[in-house]
């Protein structure tokens, strides 16, 4: 078995070392992130596994606090060695001598922890807050770290959409012979950020290139599986919401109670979907600030015999059923009217026969008794889809070091948000229009989900969402 690759994460205090490990491990609770200097006081390890094998060990180290005085001490210790011997000393020898001296256990205890871990590692990531000015202490830090004799890869942090001193940092690093540099924002990493980071590490560590390539492939596969699972969650939410029906009587009180029931049901379904999306991406409920989806005032639906309902009846029962229903509706249906009187409903029942009664009899008879059907409006389905797709995109771009809560925007109408609605002009995909006539699809059970109709609708909608999402975010550049 190949030994795992050991990488030290080093740098000045408060540059985002712990934040980097949170994002790379997808663990928002790793270590402690704070604005206070010296928050990390001990070396902590995070392990990345593939198929039960640890491929990479990342060591979070304390911040280097007094590089200037430490470099002076190292020079003094070398000066005390016989001149002929000192001239032949390499960097690791100087570091080992320091670690065995009293100052390493006293004044420079934190720096000693960093250097001790460096000597045990195959390479190190030097984390830089690119917003900071370049100071002499940073040059001294790098000179000390280079003495450890392990490859050092500078990592520019906090580079996404902010004013930085990146040019100055690159010039200073080049002056020290450090030309391989990676940009990686721990709060908002680029879509290919991890791949770029591990690829640059591999260029410095030929012997471990295969290990890092295996890690890259595993992470890409995991990301694709998360994306597909998330789209299926959203598609299932939308299909089941589109299929929701509440049959109520005509009076005002029943209407208000029905609207409240419908609103509550949809909000609970959306909340469940959001919770599952957060869990899938290893975030927590307190990482999001979500307003309740406004469901307007509800909508009376009178489209029992929309084209998909008629088609469904015709396919299941033969053309006679659909023809019988149409004959019962008479001239109202022919001219597009949707009002059903008692005679029309009776004609439909007779034309369709027993199978029609079994599938649609309750809805038809509801028309005879004066009941109405309350359902979620198309514009609300559009808002629901827009919110969930935008949330998914935000989660996929969000680093696990982020401290600010995600805001799930409140869409009071389809023109009130900064982005366009997902479905242009509220034109729902075919799968959602088909779900309108499938009230059984609301029941979230294995038996129902396993049925070919609902499963196909969810899969087709998931593909539609993928295409719409790719188009919606195609204009957003990667941070490189």
* Dist CA 300 CA 251 (whole Å): 12
If one counts every other C-beta atom within 10 angstroms of the C-beta of residue 224, the result is: 10
Q: According to the model, what pLDDT value does residue 410 have?
A: 43
Per-residue pLDDT of the chain in tens (480 residues, 90 and over written 9): 457 999 999 998 888 899 999 999 998 878 655 444 445 568 999 999 999 999 999 999 998 888 999 999 998 988 887 665 656 788 999 999 999 999 999 999 999 999 999 999 999 999 999 999 999 999 999 999 999 999 999 999 999 877 899 999 999 999 999 999 999 999 989 889 999 999 999 999 999 999 999 999 999 999 999 999 999 999 999 999 999 888 777 677 777 787 788 888 888 888 889 889 999 999 988 887 765 544 443 333 333 334 444 344 333 333 333 333 333 332 233 333 333 343 444 444 444 444 444 445 555 555 555 567 788 888 888 888 988 998 999 899 999 888 888 776 543 333 334 467 888 877 899 999 999 888 888 865 544 445 578 999 999 999 999 999 998 887 554 443
Is the Cβ–Cβ distance between 389 and 234 less than 8 Å? yes
Phi-psi region of 425 (alpha: psi -120 to 50; beta: other; left: phi over 0): left
Cα 309 from chain centroid (whole Å)? 37
Q: Alpha helices of 120-192 — where are they, by DSSP H? A: 136-146, 166-175
End-to-end CA distance of the chain: 35
Q: Which domains are seen in the chain, by residue range? A: 5-204 (3.40.50.300), 220-298+376-472 (no CATH), 301-375 (no CATH)
Helix (H) or strand (E) holding 316: helix 307-317
* Dist CA 346 CA 423 (whole Å): 37
User: Up-side HSE of residue 30: CA atoms within 13 Å toward CB?
Assistant: 26
Q: According to the model, what pLDDT value does residue 321 have?
A: 36
Q: H helices then E strands: how many in the chain?
A: 18, 11
Q: According to the model, what pLDDT value does residue 419 have?
A: 62
Q: According to the model, what pLDDT value does residue 197 have?
A: 96
Query: At CA 458, angle to CA 455 and CA 464, rounded to 5?
Result: 140
- Cα–Cα distance list, 140 to 68, 74, 77, 117, 145 (Å): 6, 11, 16, 18, 9
Q: Is 389 helix (H, G, I), strand (E, B) or coil?
A: helix
User: What is the three-state SS of 66-114?
Assistant: CHHHHHHHHHHHHHCCCHHHHCCCCHHHHHHHHHCCHHHHCCCHHHHHH
Is the Cβ–Cβ distance between 381 and 234 less than 8 Å? no
Phi and psi at residue 232, to the nearest 5°: -65, -35
Is the Cβ–Cβ distance between 233 and 240 less than 8 Å? no
Is the Cβ–Cβ distance between 262 and 294 less than 8 Å? no
Q: Is 411 helix (H, G, I), strand (E, B) or coil?
A: coil
Question: What's the DSSP call for residue 12?
Answer: B
Q: Are strands 44-50 and 53-60 parallel, antiparallel or unpaired?
A: antiparallel
Q: Is 421 helix (H, G, I), strand (E, B) or coil?
A: coil
* Dist CA 385 CA 383 (whole Å): 5
User: Up-side HSE of residue 361: CA atoms within 13 Å toward CB?
Assistant: 10
* Dist CA 182 CA 45 (whole Å): 22
Q: According to the model, what pLDDT value does residue 363 have?
A: 56
- What is the dihedral angle through the alpha carbons of 311, 315, 317, 319, rounded to the nearest 10 degrees? 70
- Cα–Cα distance list, 420 to 43, 233, 296, 397 (Å): 47, 22, 19, 19
Spatial strand order of the sheet with 372-375 comes to 246-248, 372-375, 299-301
Phi-psi region of 6 (alpha: psi -120 to 50; beta: other; left: phi over 0): beta
Q: According to the model, what pLDDT value does residue 262 have?
A: 82
* Dist CA 435 CA 232 (whole Å): 15
Cβ neighbours for 182, distance < 8 A, ≥ 6 positions apart = 153, 154, 155, 156, 196, 197, 200
- The percent helix, strand, coil of the chain (3-state, each to 5) is 55, 10, 35
Length of the chain measured in residues = 480
């Amino acid at each position: 078995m190949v030994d795992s690759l050991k990488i030290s994460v080093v740098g000045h205090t408060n540059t985002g070392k712990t934040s980097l490990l949170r994002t790379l491990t997808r663990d928002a609770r790793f270590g402690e992130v704070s604005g206070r200097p010296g928050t990390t006081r001990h070396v902590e390890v995070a392990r990345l596994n593939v198929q039960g094998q640890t491929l990479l060990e990342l060591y979070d180290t304390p911040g280097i606090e007094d590089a200037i005085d430490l470099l002076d001490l190292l020079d003094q210790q070398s000066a005390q060695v016989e001149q002929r011997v000192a001239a032949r000393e390499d960097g690791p020898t100087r570091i080992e001598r320091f670690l065995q001296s009293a100052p390493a256990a006293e004044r420079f205890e934190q720096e000693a922890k960093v250097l001790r871990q460096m000597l045990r590692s195959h390479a190190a990531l030097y984390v830089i807050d690119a917003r900071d000015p370049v100071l002499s202490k940073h040059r001294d830090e790098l000179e000390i770290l280079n003495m450890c004799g392990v490859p050092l890869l500078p990592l520019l942090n906090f580079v996404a959409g902010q004013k930085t001193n990146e040019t100055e940092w690159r010039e200073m690093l080049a002056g020290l012979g450090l030309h391989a540099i990676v940009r990686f924002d721990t709060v908002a990493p680029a879509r290919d950020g991890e791949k770029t980071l591990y690829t640059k590490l591999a260029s410095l560590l030929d012997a471990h290139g295969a290990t890092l390539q295996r890690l890259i492939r595993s992470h890409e596969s995991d990301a694709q599986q998360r994306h597909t699972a998330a789209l299926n969650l959203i598609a299932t939410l939308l299909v089941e919401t589109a299929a929701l029906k509440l049959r109520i009587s005509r009076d005002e009180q029943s209407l208000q109670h029905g609207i409240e029931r419908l609103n509550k049901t949809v909000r609970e379904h959306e909340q469940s979907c959001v919770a599952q999306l957060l869990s899938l991406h290893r975030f927590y409920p307190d990482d999001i600030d979500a307003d309740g989806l406004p469901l307007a005032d509800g909508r009376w639906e009178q489209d029992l015999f929309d084209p998909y309902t008629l088609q469904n009846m015709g396919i299941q029962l033969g053309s006679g059923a659909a023809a019988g229903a149409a004959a019962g509706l008479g001239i109202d249906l022919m001219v597009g009217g949707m009002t059903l009187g008692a005679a029309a409903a009776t004609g439909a029942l007779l034309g369709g026969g027993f199978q029609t009664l079994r599938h649609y009899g309750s809805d038809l008879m509801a028309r005879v008794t004066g009941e109405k059907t309350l359902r979620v409006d198309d514009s609300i389905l559009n808002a629901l889809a827009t919110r969930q797709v935008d949330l998914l995109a935000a989660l996929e771009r969000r680093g696990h070091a982020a401290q600010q809560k995600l805001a799930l925007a409140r869409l009071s109408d389809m023109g009130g948000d900064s982005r366009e609605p997902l479905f242009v002009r509220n034109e729902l995909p075919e799968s959602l229009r088909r779900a309108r006539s499938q009230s059984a699809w609301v029941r979230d059970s294995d038996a129902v989900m396993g049925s070919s109709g609902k499963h196909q609708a969810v899969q087709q909608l998931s593909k539609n969402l993928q295409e719409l999402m790719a188009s919606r975010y195609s204009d957003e550049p990667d941070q490189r």
